[in-house]
């Protein structure tokens, strides 16, 4: 093992079932919280984007400054980057009138370019070796655009293609299941399986959030964005407290 300064050890969590549970919870909050701030608090897309963007910068400051992986810093950053990723797509579609097909394709190309540059520079895309500041920058930049792509593709299926939120959630969930089967039984590359699943959990979480929060007229259950966001935020808090106390997601 190469000699790595202590300050750059363990900056990301171990990939366990807890990781995927909290990731989906975060993606759901990203969808519902963005809608809540935009419409219920009347901040508008621009105001919401500025507020959440500033909070994300603060969260990333503490994440980058930390000596090692802390669940609180890491998952606060993920929640906020989920909201900001959602807002990037919403601004392009609602404020600028760019179609979801276009944003989905553009974000897919940008994400592919980030992966290409990351690999060209670092010779690895491993999520177990985020042990330099440069790799950490690539890591979080990738996460941002997975959320933007996930938002666009989820809305594309549910709204543009009119499949509805529930069916979209089932499709994305089934696709993640196929990725797991490929990894577990067909020797699909671990890094590829991780990033494909990571991208797909965003539209899965968004579809779940929309299904719970949107009105019955729009194909949802009508819980509203405030209640849905609160439920999932409490679930995230409980999971983070559990992981902080048990250290089950700390890389040895």
Judge whether residue 166 has pLDDT over 50: yes
Per the prediction, the chain carries an average pLDDT of: 88
Q: Which residues contact 146 (CB under 8 A, 6 or more apart)?
A: 85, 111, 195, 198, 199, 202
Give the model confidence (pLDDT) of 171-227 as tens digits. Answer: 999 999 999 999 999 989 999 999 999 989 988 988 888 899 988 888 889 999 889
Q: Are 243 and 71 in contact (CB under 8 A)?
A: yes
Q: Are 64 and 12 in contact (CB under 8 A)?
A: no
Q: Can you tell me the distance from the alpha carbon of 73 to that of 64, in angstroms, rounded to the nearest whole number?
A: 9
CA 131 to chain centre: 21
Q: Are 130 and 165 in contact (CB under 8 A)?
A: no
Give the model confidence (pLDDT) of 32-91 as tens digits. Answer: 888 888 888 878 888 889 999 999 999 999 999 988 888 999 999 999 999 898 899 989
Q: Are 76 and 84 in contact (CB under 8 A)?
A: no
The pTM of this model reads 0.88
Q: Can you tell me the distance from the alpha carbon of 250 to that of 247, in angstroms, rounded to the nearest whole number?
A: 5
**Domain spans in the chain, listed from the N-terminal domain onward:** 6-246
Q: Can you tell me the distance from the alpha carbon of 42 to that of 22, in angstroms, rounded to the nearest whole number?
A: 28
User: How big is the chain by its Cα radius of gyration, in Å?
Assistant: 18
Judge whether residue 6 has pLDDT over 70: no
């Amino acid at each position: 093992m190469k000699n790595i300064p202590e300050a750059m050890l363990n900056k990301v969590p171990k990939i366990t079932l807890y990781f995927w549970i909290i990731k989906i919870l975060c993606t759901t909050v990203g969808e519902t919280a963005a809608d809540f701030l935009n419409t219920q608090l009347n901040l508008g897309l621009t105001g919401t984007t500025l507020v959440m963007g500033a909070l994300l910068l603060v969260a990333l400051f503490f994440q980058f400054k930390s000596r090692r992986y802390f669940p609180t810093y890491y998952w606060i950053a993920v929640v906020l980057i989920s909201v900001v990723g959602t807002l990037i797509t919403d601004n392009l579609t609602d404020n600028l009138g760019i179609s979801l097909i276009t944003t989905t394709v553009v974000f897919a190309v940008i994400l592919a370019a980030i992966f290409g540059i990351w690999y060209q520079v670092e010779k690895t895309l491993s999520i177990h070796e985020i042990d330099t500041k440069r790799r950490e920058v690539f890591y979080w930049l990738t996460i941002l655009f997975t959320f933007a792509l996930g938002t666009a593709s989820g809305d594309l299926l549910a709204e543009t293609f009119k499949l509805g939120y529930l069916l979209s959630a089932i499709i994305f969930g089934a696709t993640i299941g196929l990725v797991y089967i490929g990894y577990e039984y067909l020797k699909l590359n671990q890094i590829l399986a991780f990033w494909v699943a990571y991208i797909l959990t965003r539209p899965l979480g968004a579809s779940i959030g929309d299904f719970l929060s949107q009105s019955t007229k729009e194909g949802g259950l009508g819980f509203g964005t405030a209640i849905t966001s609160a439920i999932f935020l409490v679930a995230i808090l409980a999971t983070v407290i559990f992981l902080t106390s048990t250290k089950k997601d700390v890389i040895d």
